[in-house]
Amino acid sequence: MLSLPFGLRVPATCAHLGPGLGVLGLALELAFEYRVEAHDDGDEHVVERPDAHASVLDPRHDGVIVGLRQATRRWSIEVPPLRIEVHRGAPAGCGLGSYTADLLAGVRIASAFVKTPPLRDEQLDAVVAAGGDPAHASAALCGGLAIAVPLGGPVPGHRCLPAPIDAPWRLVIIAPDVAIGAAETQRAIPATLGALVAARTAGRVAGLLHAFATGDERLLGECLVDEVHVPHRIRLVPSVGSAITAMREAGAAGATISGHGPAVVAFTTRAERTNAIQAAAEEAFGRASVTCRAFVSAPGRQVGPL
C-alpha cells in the first residue's frame, strides 16, 4: 500500500507488430507519467492533462478514471478523492498505447490502496474489460517484448508472458499528425480469415519471436509481413505505405504500423542506421504534406513507480 503523494510511470507501447494482431506488444523507453495526490476540494477523482490533447477529452470517458472505477468495482477497493496529473512522453491517439496506458494507470492507482495488489494477469484482465488492448497492456505490464495469450474456459481472460528480445534492437517511430479513430481502423479489417492466411500468420508470429530473441534482421523482415490488418489500415492515411517502404529501403530490417496507427515503427539492430530511416519516413510523409513527429527508442521497462 502506497502513501500519497506518489508517481507512476507507464511505458508507451507498440502493439500487433505485423502478424501479431492483439497478441504481440513491445514496451518503449517513451512513457506516460501520472502524479497522484489527495484531492481536498471535493469528493471526485480529477484528472488534469497540461497538453493540447486535454481539451478534446470527455472527463466521463477519461481512461484513467475508467480504469480506476473498473478496479474499485472489480476488487471492492476504497479509494479517496484524488487529483491525478498526466504528462505524456509520447503523442496520444496514434497507436502508441496511450488509452490503454491510461486504463492501466487507473487500475494501478486503485491497486495502490490495498495491502495485496492484484496479480499481473488480473490487472491485464481488468484493463481489457475496461476496453484496453491486450497487446499494449501486456507490453506495459511485462516490459520489453510481451505476448498476450487469450484463454478459454468458463471464465475467459488473458495471460501476459514476457518474451526474450536481443539488446541491440532499436525502434524508429514516426507519428504523422493525422487523427484516426480506433473504431475506424477496426472496421477496415475483414471479418473472416482464410485458412491459408491463418497458417501463414501463425508461422510468422513464431518466426518473429525468434528474430527478436536472436537479433536476426533477415528473419524479422520476412516475418513482419502481415495479411490480416496492415494492408487494410495503410489505406486510411496518406503515405503510410510509402513511409514503410522508404524505411525498409533506408536500411530497416522491417517496418509496420504500430497499434491501430497511424504511427509506423521500423526495427534495426544497427544504431547508426536510425537517422537515415527516420529521414526517409519523414520525406515520404512530407511529399504528401503530412507533418509528423519522430522518436528513436530501445525496448523499455515495465510499468512502475516514478
Tally of CB atoms within 10 A around 177? 12
Compute the average pLDDT of residues 173-193: 74
pLDDT for 56 equals 47
Checking if the pLDDT of 184 tops 90, the result is no
Checking if the pLDDT of 53 tops 60, the result is no
Would strands 264-268 and 170-176 be described as parallel, antiparallel, or unpaired?
Answer: antiparallel
Every domain of the chain with CATH number 3.30.230.10 lies at 6-163
Q: 61-92 pLDDT, tens per residue?
A: 899 999 999 999 999 999 999 999 999 999 99
Distance in angstroms (rounded) separating the CA atoms of residues 304 and 171? 22
Query: Which 3 state secondary structure label does DSSP give 83?
Result: strand
pLDDT for 47 equals 85
Q: For the structural domain made of 6-163, what CATH number should be given?
A: 3.30.230.10
Compute the average pLDDT of residues 53-67: 72
Q: 93-124 pLDDT, tens per residue?
A: 899 999 999 999 999 999 999 999 999 999 99
For residue 181, give every residue at least 6 positions away whose Cβ sits within 8 Å of its Cβ, in sequence order, or none: none
Instruction: Determine the straight-line distance between the first and last CA of the chain, rounded to whole angstroms.
Output: 16
pLDDT for 55 equals 47
Q: Do residues 211 and 23 lie in contact, with contact meaning Cβ atoms separated by under 8 Å? A: no
pLDDT band with cut points at 50, 70 and 90 for residue 129: very high
Fold of 170-297: Alpha-Beta Plaits (3.30.70)
Q: 218-269 pLDDT, tens per residue?
A: 999 999 999 988 888 888 887 999 999 999 999 999 999 999 889 999 999 9
| pTM, full prediction | 0.93
- Residue 28 phi/psi, 5-degree rounding, is -110, 165
Ranking 40-44, 147-151, 208-212, 226-230 by mean pLDDT, the lowest is 40-44
Every domain of the chain with CATH number 3.30.70.890 lies at 170-297
For residue 49, give every residue at least 6 positions away whose Cβ sits within 8 Å of its Cβ, in sequence order, or none: 57, 85, 86, 88
Cα pseudo-dihedral 62, 67, 72, 75, rounded to 10: 170
pLDDT band with cut points at 50, 70 and 90 for residue 59: low
Comparing CA positions, the residue from 120, 83, 89 lying closest to residue 13 is: 89
